Amino acid sequence: MSVGLERGGRRYSLSSDPAALDVDAVHAMLSRAYWCRGIPRDTVAKAMAHSLAFSLWCEEAPRRQVGIARWVTDRATFAYLCDVFLHEDHRGLGLGDWMVGEGLKHPDLQGLRRQVLFTADMHGLYARHGFTALKTPERGMEIVRPNLYQDLA
């Protein structure tokens, strides 16, 4: 899947082709994200290889990856949207909204019984795409290791 868009005088493209991912660029972005600060490059590469990932590219020279959105999914019943990140220089143009909207159209994400995500600050963006607060949060459980990557360093 590959689609294009123009925003802020720049052309962007979005691809779900695993070969299109720039793991170094994704690592550079995610290692600064509040939810996985300091994540090792090998962990990013492994996560991308085992997910449905969408890479956002700025097409102006030099062409470079400026965003990522990743779904962890069995492609039959469930998906977890995570690692939605835009490089700071490309925020405020609606690109995150576009990435999520286009990603949700992917054939492998159709007919799923449930999709979930966790966010500290972008609830409005996800609500525009049909996500709601958990209806029964008391049913959910988790194992959280918030400082995992710092502890490994």
How many domains does the chain divide into?
A: 1
| 45-84 confidence digits (pLDDT tens) | 999 999 999 999 999 989 999 999 999 999 999 999 999 9
Least Cα distance to 89 among 30, 38, 29 occurs for 29
Does the pLDDT at position 116 exceed 90? yes
pLDDT for res 146: 84
pLDDT for res 87: 96
Q: Which domain holds residue 52?
A: 2-152
Query: CATH number for the domain including 11?
Result: 3.40.630.30
Chain mean position to CA 62: 23
Does the pLDDT at position 151 exceed 90? no
pLDDT for res 8: 85
Pair 33, 85: CB distance under 8 Å: yes
